[in-house]
Amino acid sequence: MNAIKQKPGNELENYVPFPVEHLPEPVKNYVEQAAAAVGCPPAYIVLPLLSCLGQSIGSGLVVSPGDTWEAPPIFWTAIIGESGTTKSPALRTVKKFFKDLEDKAHSDYESKIPQYEADLAAWKSTKKSVRGDKPVEPTMKRYYVDDTTMEALVQVLDENEHGVMVITDELKAWFAGFDRYVKGKGGDAPKWLSAWNGDEISVDRKSGDKKHTRICNPVVNLTGTIQPDTLRKAVAEHVENGLFARLLFAYPPSYPQTWNSNKIAEEAILDMEKLVGQLISARDKSEDRETVTLDEAAMNVWERFFNENQELIHLSESEDAYPLAKHDQYALRIALVLHAIKHAGVVDLPAISKETLEAAVGIVHWFRNETMRVYRIFDTRSDEAKQKDLVCFIARRNKGTITVRELQNSNSKKYPTADSARISLNRLAEDGFGSFDDSTFRLNGINKQILSRFDFIHDQGDECMW
């Protein structure tokens, strides 16, 4: 396959490789071998694998750090790259685990059809007074689908109580389905948002035997690939409605490809097949949803992470706050998957340990950095919209007062220098949002900058409701 050789001076040079050291075995070994065989960054394997493992756990398991919190194993992941950047081969190394199961399920289903048709024909030829109940048509057990319409998805979920995964080689069709409605406010978008939460979804049909279908506690993991231009068009529509914030992204630098003969060891594949099989078996045997908790040491880690993340949300402009608000959930969801991997085959699961939660937090920190990076690269909002975000941020954060240093420290990637923060605050003052004191004084013949401060005109921020 293709080995990695990064282009010098790539515009995505701030990319940080995925921290595979946080993954338990056999997942870590498989990720490293698959990445070497495909010639792609490990993140291209990790993201779809997270969705696959989450779906393998399904609806049988959730994690809860307290009475009011529950996190299901649901992951929406997207690997970004131009055509020819090994996205599809990477996705196939993960899809294969479900494809083999799907092929077997299809064969089982097909084998039942002749008997069903014979029973149905006999039933129809029997007098109504004595023929009894109509034969039940066989259903096919599903592991994944590629049809991303909600109506088709709900039909499959109705026949598969533990959920189903959406695997699509191109997420363009998924986003396009929402574009039929203005800013995602109608149609499928609200149902998809509910599905990410694991909340009830329902569909009403005008035709067919079943007019209303209701799915409680759905588990729908999603993974796919997407090209940068497609994603750029989707950002404007789906940042504010919350859809974009629920996706976990990986966008490594592009690189030229060279041939290599690396292969995934048979043992690594068999270990992963065994793991997926154990998780699915435990899921299918569960009659009621089991709740896993955190042990005392893990709770201390959770509290620190939760408080830190909430502080970041408070100090962030809105476009950054949207995904950060989902990272609390993702930390728990990742911890649940890591925990299930470590205890695959165990009947009575213990509480999640400190070490497992710390690994989950380490992975979420990577996703936090990568998400902010993707947002900066694909931010297509107007200058007016960006300015509104900054206005609301200042109004919400300090009730209208902020210094250049404080703004820079709030987001050093967006404002890498004091001058970049100063320019933004000065532009707000020029547009009538407040006053900006940026004067200097001389000390021993040298110009010294005073503490540059922007003071907000509160009437301008009423819509921010600070």
Pair (123, 270) in one structural domain: yes
Pair (401, 376) in one structural domain: no
pLDDT tens per residue, range 229-262: 888 887 766 766 788 899 999 999 877 788 889 9
pLDDT class for 450, splitting at 50, 70, 90? very low
Pair (397, 269) in one structural domain: no
- What is each CA distance from 190 to 141, 164, 205, in whole angstroms? 27, 19, 17
Residue with tokens 């299930």: 340
Can you tell me whether residue 353 is helix, strand or coil?
A: coil
Pair (361, 403) in one structural domain: no
Pair (227, 290) in one structural domain: yes
Write the CATH number for 418. Answer: 1.10.10.10
- Full residue range of the structural domain in which residue 72 is found: 1-381
Residue where a domain terminates, one of 350, 381, 412: 381
Pair (405, 355) in one structural domain: no
How many beta carbons lie within 10 A of that of residue 166, not counting itself? 23
pLDDT: which is higher, 22 or 170: 22
pLDDT class for 449, splitting at 50, 70, 90? very low
Q: What integer pLDDT is reported at residue 180 of this predicted model? A: 53
Burial class (CB in 10 A: 0-12, 13-18, 19+), 121: exposed
Residue with tokens 């925990």: 339
Pair (301, 434) in one structural domain: no
pLDDT class for 369, splitting at 50, 70, 90? very high
Burial class (CB in 10 A: 0-12, 13-18, 19+), 18: buried
Write the CATH number for 127. Answer: 3.40.50
Residue 67 has pLDDT above 90, yes or no: no
Q: What integer pLDDT is reported at residue 187 of this predicted model? A: 67
Residue 222 has pLDDT above 70, yes or no: yes
Cα 289 from Cα 35, distance rounded (Å): 34
Q: Tell me which of 178-182, 190-194, 422-426, 441-445 is least confident.
A: 441-445
What sign for the dihedral angle of Cα 302, 308, 311, 316?
negative
Q: Which of 273, 325, 254 is nearest to 84 (CA)?
A: 254
Q: Which of 253, 255, 248, 254 is nearest to 369 (CA)?
A: 248
Pair (364, 442) in one structural domain: no
Pair (352, 442) in one structural domain: no
Burial class (CB in 10 A: 0-12, 13-18, 19+), 355: middle
Residue where a domain terminates, one of 360, 381, 402: 381
Cβ-based neighbours of 121, under 8 Å, separated by 6 or more = none
Q: DSSP for 36-56?
A: HHHTS-THHHHHHHHHHHHHH
Question: The tokens of 466 are what?
Answer: 């600070």
Q: Could you give the number of structural domains in the chain?
A: 2
Residues facing 223 on adjacent strands: 77, 167
Helical ranges in 130-265 per DSSP H: 150-159, 172-178, 188-197, 228-238
Instruction: Tell me how many degrees the CA angle 193-146-92 measures, rounded to the nearest 5.
Output: 110
Pair (104, 19) in one structural domain: yes
CA end-to-end span of the chain, whole Å?
Answer: 55
Pair (375, 444) in one structural domain: no
Pair (17, 91) in one structural domain: yes
Residue where a domain terminates, one of 381, 408, 437: 381
Phi/psi at 74 (5° precision): -115, 125
Q: What integer pLDDT is reported at residue 448 of this predicted model? A: 41
Q: Which of 202, 189, 194 is nearest to 220 (CA)?
A: 194
The mean of the pLDDT values for the chain is 85
The answer to whether the CB of 410 falls within 8 A of the CB of 421 is no
Can you tell me whether residue 123 is helix, strand or coil?
A: helix
pLDDT tens per residue, range 134-144: 999 999 999 99
